[in-house]
Amino acid sequence: MFGRARLALLLPSAVCFLTSCSTSIHNLKVPIGESPAVTDSSRIHIDDARPQKDRVPRLAKDVVRCERWFGDDTLVPSKLVYLDKLFDEHTRFDMKVHIRLTRFDIVEYCEQTVSGSATTAAAAAAGSIPYVRPAPIIGDTVVLHLAGEINGMTFDESRQFDYATLYKFSQSPSANPIYRALLRTRLDEIIDAIVKKASRAELR
């Protein structure tokens, strides 16, 4: 019984290693802009208040390869350049926009990130089966989270999407154009929600 349970838990790990999760987050590049020529808008100012660790790609230390945090330069163009472009597109041509950015997370979870339980943890401690700590999101899911201030108004917005059917062996999920389209759509939704908050504040 323990042998089958051990195999069941090790199998996703092997699959994860051979497929998307084996792609190094440090080398990953995700083209998100429709055009390579993206210029800064003179009316958009972004003050980046995030800690340095949140600007670089990384893996969660205790979830093997399956909680991948995109760095600024993981996106092409980079997160801040693309953010500038989005705010320029979503705001009026005469609107000055000042962003104080405290969070811009894009995290890719994969199915190896299994939920834990007291029974599982106890069995892992006894050495009978491997144990992977529970993560905030379970399954093949991308979570986007932006927080900060726009023209003095606080915002905290998040979106997510499932990519379970969007990748094949030997390819990263982001190699699929549908994945990238979903990433752009969710970012559009977040920026739209932030801008609407700022616009309502102007009318008061």
In order of 87, 130, 152, 203, the CA distances from 7 in angstroms are: 48, 10, 53, 60
- The total number of structural domains that make up the chain: 1
Kindly compute the dihedral angle of the four CA atoms of residues 181, 184, 186, 192, in this order, to the nearest 10 degrees.
-140
* C-alpha count within 13 angstroms, C-beta hemisphere, residue 22: 13
pLDDT, tens only, 84-128:
999 999 999 999 999 999 999 999 988 654 444 444 344 444 555
pLDDT tens, position by position, 49-85: 999 999 999 987 765 557 899 999 999 999 999 999 9
Give the range of the structural domain holding residue 138, as residue numbers without chain letter.
2-202
